[in-house]
Amino acid sequence: MAESLPKTPMLDELEKGGWPSFVKEIKLAAKKSPMAVDLLGLLERSYKEKIGHWKHGGIVGVMGYGGGVIGRYNDLPEVYPNISHFHTIRVNQPAGWFYKSDALRSICDIWEKRGSSLTNMHGSTGDIILLGTRTEQLEPIFAELSKVDFDLGGSGSDVRTPSCCCGMARCEWACYDTMRTCYDFTMKFQDELHRPAFPYKFKFKFSGCPNDCVASIARADMSIIGTWRDSIQMDKAAVTEYAKNGMDIQSEVVDNCPAKCMDWDGKELHIENSYCRRCMHCINVMPKALRPGKDRGATILLGSKAPIVEGALLSSVLIPFIKMEPPYKELTDIIDRIWELWCEEGKNRERVGEFIQRVGLGNFLEAIEVDPVPEMVAHPRENPYVFYEEYFEAGDEGSEEEEK
């Protein structure tokens, strides 16, 4: 059915070796898809010339949505006409990337008919990426996806597709229900997700514990990371068991505790929980003996992003501990206030983390009506340059503060 494959001696090299080969995937697709055939040719050319052949995408999309499609055109449409358009569609993955085969197959069927037959499972933000189709296919694809209950993900200056770790579905350490929360937030912010109206993108990522298996603290404007407030649950017998089975509890566990709050006398393990930093290390190493406490919730952090252009950021603490239970009103109210402020005062292409740095965390907190707490800082200021906003006036006799 598809055209004969172009000669791709360089790419063919990448069919060898033990790691799954993306070239094989393109060739698999190329059995049926002329788009995949042209992609092979174009990619081989890039390998020879050491340069890409894609142009800036124009604005393409589906009716009523501002995001979800990345427009893409190649710069040699005469040579590679089948991929003269090669737009990707971002499809909002199910929380935790769990699938049943029938659902996956239904997507494959649509994509076989209307696209390149190539995908990314998944994109870096978490979406199902349908890799390459033509403008005129966008509406039909959306209509068919809709029939099998898949909606588009985010792109542009909107809420980006939230993602989460598998959490309670498969992990003993989940301190809140990441998948449920991810789903609930995705649903609550459908409008913000599909219709870019922010200064720039806004990403949510949900991790069930400080191991942060979705890299939330590094890659989300709002990072929701599970934690606990009370003491680590310990099964003393299981600790003894680990020791008996050869674990060197002093060097493997105690010496690696960043809080230096553990003590092992060769028989009993003691944790001074009021100093514990909830780093997870001891729990990670002795999953049968130690577990997060019972009073569980999440730490909310704000602002991580890649470096363009002010330098990369990790998220920083906004709420040290919050219970994560529907309807999450306290948190979503804060989110509303953050967005309101950022939409009003943020510059174009200024992520929320950059915005906070520009206006100052103290001012930001005042504006969103959150009290400052020491958990928000790694340490208090080192410089003495405090902007006091008020001062005493002579006649006050020191008794009253006056606004300037």
Partner 1 sequence: MTDERRTDYGPPHYERFLPPIIKENYGKWKYHEVLKPGVMVHVSESGAHLYSVRAASSRLLSIEKIRAYCDLADKYCGGYLRFTSRHNVEFLLSDAKNIDPLIADLKKLGHPVGGLQNSISAIVHTQGWIHCHSAATDASGVVKAVMDDLLEYFTEMKLPGKLRIALACCLNMCGAVHCSDIAILGIHRRPPRVDHENLHKMCEIPNVSASCPTAAIRPAMVGGKQSVEVLEERCMFCANCFTVCPSMPLADPLNDGVSIWVGGKVSNARHEPMFSKLAIPFLPNNPPRWPEVTEAIRNLVELWAKNARKYERMGEWIERIGWPKFFRMSGIEFRKEHIDDFKHAGLTFKRSTHLTF
What is the pairing mode between strands 262-264 and 296-302? Answer: unpaired
* Contacting residue, 1, 59, 237, 394, with partner 1 by CB under 8 A: 394
Give the separation between CA 138 and CA 132, rounded to whole angstroms. Answer: 10
If the CB atoms of residues 45 and 160 are measured against ligand SRM, the closer one turns out to be: 160
- Of the pair 45, 281, the CB lying nearest ligand SRM is at 281
Kindly tell me which residue out of 35, 159, 186, 239 binds partner 1, with binding defined by CB under 8 A. 186
Distances from the Cα of 149 to the Cαs of 141, 162, 236, in angstroms?
Answer: 12, 17, 48
Confirm if 15 and 23 have CB atoms less than 8 A apart.
Answer: yes
If one asks whether residue 343 binds a copy of itself (CB under 8 A), the answer comes out as no
The only residue of 380, 384, 388, 403 in contact with a copy of itself, by rule CB under 8 A: 384
What, of a copy of itself, ligand SF4, ligand SRM, none, does residue 192 touch, CB below 5 to 8 Å by kind?
none
* The amino acid at 129: I
Supply the minimum distance, in Å, between the C-beta of residue 284 and ligand SRM: 3
Residue 174 contacts which entry, ligand SF4, ligand SRM, a copy of itself, none (Cβ below 5-8 A, type-dependent):
ligand SF4
Report the residue from 1, 59, 78, 102 that binds partner 1 according to the rule CB under 8 A. 102
Cβ–Cβ under 8 Å, residues 89 and 114: no
| Nearest distance from C-beta of residue 149 to ligand SF4, angstroms | 25
Contact partners, residue 243, CB within 8 Å, separation at least 6: 249
Residue 219 or residue 335: which is nearer to partner 1 going by CB?
A: 219
Between 93 and 339, whose beta carbon lies closer to partner 1? 93
16 binds, among partner 1, a copy of itself, ligand SF4, none (CB under 5 to 8 A by kind): partner 1
Kindly state the number of chain residues that form the binding site for a copy of itself, as judged by CB under 8 A. Answer: 7
Query: What is the distance between the alpha carbons of residues 230 and 234, in angstroms, rounded to a whole number?
Result: 12
Binding to a copy of itself, residues 307-336 (CB under 8 A) = 307, 311-312
Structure tokens, 366: 């005042």
Q: Cβ 315 to ligand SRM, closest distance in Å?
A: 11
Minimum Å gap between C-beta 270 and partner 1 is 16
For position 274 contacting a copy of itself by CB under 8 A, the verdict is: no
Dist. CA 202–CA 222, nearest whole Å: 8
Backbone region of residue 260 per phi and psi (left: phi > 0; alpha: psi in -120 to 50; beta: other values) = left
Phi, psi of 17 (to 5 degrees): 95, 165
Of these partners, ligand SRM, partner 1, ligand SF4, none, which one is at the site of residue 208 (CB under 5 to 8 Å by kind)?
Answer: ligand SF4
- Cβ within 8 Å of residue 350, ≥6 positions away: 199, 200, 358
CA 98 to chain centre: 17
- Which residues in this chain contact a copy of itself in the complex, by CB under 8 A? 307, 311-312, 382-385
